[in-house]
């Protein structure tokens, strides 16, 4: 059955930066194409606060990586051109691509804002040979939407995703079972999906440096070092085994959340409150962008000695309001934190429902309605002019420990991402 399946994995090349470039060129065809120079989407270029969310191919040559602080990126490339992020804009481009891809199969699964799996098993006969079909899809996205993608073609999701990571940009690659020895097994172990830095070190200490060496290893030898479930999983992946089906529809996210690893340990409420506000800014904006409401709010802490604590409350009525999420997060923090120094703070919302129908509260006031209108207006301004175009006064101080919209991350797939580190698993759709 697996040999009859045909899965495409579509991955946008430098998604945020590509979408930003396309938008700018549509507004002004004579403006600089960010994809052709060392550039990045990130925080505040003037203050050098924030992190790199996406970078151009020329920026990669300087060793700039996604997630590193802007200050570090500028040290590597002083002429780096940095633009603020516009998440509402990126969501619109993502949805336009998903709509285009729905012409090819109803069986698709959104893996992240810039990635999607297509199960072409039942529809490929309508379009022709797989590689030719993938090339036409790639060219159509480039011509109609203005950006480029890589497409991986394989008999399962794992191999399709691995194939899409081969040579970039704007390419199609196959990885069928017969091609595994030549294309997959020579790759370094770190390139295998779900193998993180910690697992890489443990495997290399065992003398395993390539995916092929892992595939040939007895999984029983791995279990004491990696844990039973994780050892079996990555051994299967190294052998190209993955029976996970492609979801027919993209379900409502199970949760929305962000977390921030702090530049220094925090042990006072005032500073912690500011971090919470920064995180709630992006959580609320994402809820509103997806037109959903949350019914539960959780605050998570990681102390200086790496102990993880969390506490949550269920709301009396669902919300997407940044202010309400923040007020409840502050209340939660005061209920369970004993001011032990913390190195990470996170906010997570769950029990997600659509905003088409929600129970009316007798305590809704004109002020709360004005607040919702205000927050949606702020979203629109940031979407058009950048996330840094409007910010709260409390974040204007140079001593602020957090950016005004910290923890901005991509969506993950349904479920939890694995690594052998206990702290590397991330909750549903929070990135």
DSSP letter at 4 equals: G
Interatomic CA distance for residues 427 and 37, integer angstroms: 35
For the chain, the domains span: 1-178, 185-238, 255-424
Reported as a single tens digit per residue, the pLDDT across 95-104 is 999 999 999 9
Residue 194: is its pLDDT beyond 90?
Answer: no
Given the residues 115, 281, 300, 375, the one annotated as active site: 115
Residue 349 phi/psi, 5° resolution? -115, 145
HSE, side-chain direction, 13 A CA sphere, residue 275:
27
Residue 9: is its pLDDT beyond 90?
Answer: yes
* 179 given a catalytic annotation: no
Dihedral sign of CA atoms 73, 74, 78, 83 in order: positive
Name which residue leads in pLDDT, 88 or 41. 41
Q: What is the mean pLDDT of residues 183-192?
A: 96
Residue 361: is its pLDDT beyond 50?
Answer: no
Q: What is the pLDDT of residue 334?
A: 94
Interatomic CA distance for residues 220 and 229, integer angstroms: 11
Interatomic CA distance for residues 1 and 141, integer angstroms: 30
Q: What is the pLDDT of residue 198?
A: 86
Q: What is the pLDDT of residue 291?
A: 83
Residue 256 phi/psi, 5° resolution? -125, 130
Residue 249: is its pLDDT beyond 70?
Answer: no
> Domain 185-238 - what CATH class?
mainly alpha
> Which residues are paired to 362 by β-bridges?
none
Report the 10 Å Cβ neighbour count for 287.
23
Does residue 131 sit in helix, strand or coil?
helix
Interatomic CA distance for residues 75 and 69, integer angstroms: 10
Architecture of domain 1-178: 2-Layer Sandwich (3.30)
Report the 10 Å Cβ neighbour count for 248.
12
Kindly tell me the number of DSSP H helices and DSSP E strands found in the chain. 13, 13
Reported as a single tens digit per residue, the pLDDT across 109-118 is 988 889 999 9
Query: End-to-end CA distance of the chain, in Å?
Result: 33
* pTM of the predicted model as reported, rounded to 2 decimal places: 0.63
Reported as a single tens digit per residue, the pLDDT across 198-244 is 899 999 999 999 999 999 999 999 999 999 999 999 999 999 999 99
Q: What is the CA radius of gyration of the chain?
A: 22
Candidates 248, 339, 249, 350; CA nearest to 292 is 350
CATH of domain 255-424: 3.30.1490.100
Structure tokens at 7: 């899965």
Over the chain, what is the mean pLDDT?
83
> Which residues are paired to 54 by β-bridges?
41
Regarding beta strands 292-303 and 149-154, do their DSSP bridges make them parallel or antiparallel, or are they unpaired?
unpaired
């Amino acid at each position: 059955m697996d040999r009859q399946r045909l899965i495409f994995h579509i991955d946008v090349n430098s998604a945020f930066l590509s979408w930003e470039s396309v938008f700018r060129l549509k507004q002004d065809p004579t403006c600089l194409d960010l994809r052709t120079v060392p550039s990045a989407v990130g925080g505040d270029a003037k203050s050098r606060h924030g992190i790199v969310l996406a970078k151009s191919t020329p920026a990669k040559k300087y060793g700039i990586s996604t997630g590193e602080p802007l200050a570090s990126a500028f040290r590597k490339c002083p002429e780096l051109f940095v633009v603020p992020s516009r998440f509402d804009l990126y969501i619109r481009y993502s949805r336009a691509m998903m709509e285009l891809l729905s012409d090819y199969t109803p069986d698709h699964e959104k893996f992240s804002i810039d990635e999607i799996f297509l199960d072409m098993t039942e529809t490929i006969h309508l379009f022709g040979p797989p590689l030719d079909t993938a090339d036409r899809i790639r060219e159509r996205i480039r011509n109609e939407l203005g950006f480029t993608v890589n497409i991986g073609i394989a008999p399962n999701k794992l191999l399709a995703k691995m194939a899409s990571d081969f040579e970039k940009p704007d390419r199609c690659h196959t990885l069928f079972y017969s091609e595994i020895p030549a294309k997959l097994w020579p790759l370094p172990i770190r390139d295998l999906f779900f193998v993180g830095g910690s697992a890489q070190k443990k495997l290399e200490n065992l003398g395993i440096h390539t995916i092929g060496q892992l595939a040939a290893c007895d999984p029983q030898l791995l279990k004491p070092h990696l844990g039973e479930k994780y050892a079996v999983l990555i051994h299967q992946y190294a052998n190209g085994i993955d029976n996970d089906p492609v979801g027919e529809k993209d379900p409502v996210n199970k949760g929305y959340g962000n977390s921030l690893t702090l530049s220094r340990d925090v042990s006072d409420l005032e500073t912690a409150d500011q971090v919470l506000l920064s995180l709630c800014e992006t959580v609320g904006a994402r809820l509103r962008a997806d037109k959903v409401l949350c019914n539960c709010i959780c605050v998570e802490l990681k102390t200086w000695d790496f102990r993880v604590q969390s506490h949550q409350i269920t709301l009396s009525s669902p919300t997407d309001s940044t202010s309400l999420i923040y007020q409840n997060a502050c209340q939660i923090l005061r209920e369970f934190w004993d001011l032990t120094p913390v190195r990470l703070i996170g906010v997570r919302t769950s029990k997600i429902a659509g905003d088409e129908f929600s129970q009316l509260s007798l305590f809704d006031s004109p002020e709360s309605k004005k607040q919702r209108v205000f927050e949606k207006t702020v979203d629109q301004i940031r979407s058009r002019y950048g996330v840094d175009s409007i910010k709260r006064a409390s974040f204007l101080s140079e001593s602020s420990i957090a950016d005004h919209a910290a923890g901005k991350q991509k969506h993950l797939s349904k479920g939890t991402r694995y690594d052998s580190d206990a702290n590397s698993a991330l909750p549903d759709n929070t990135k």
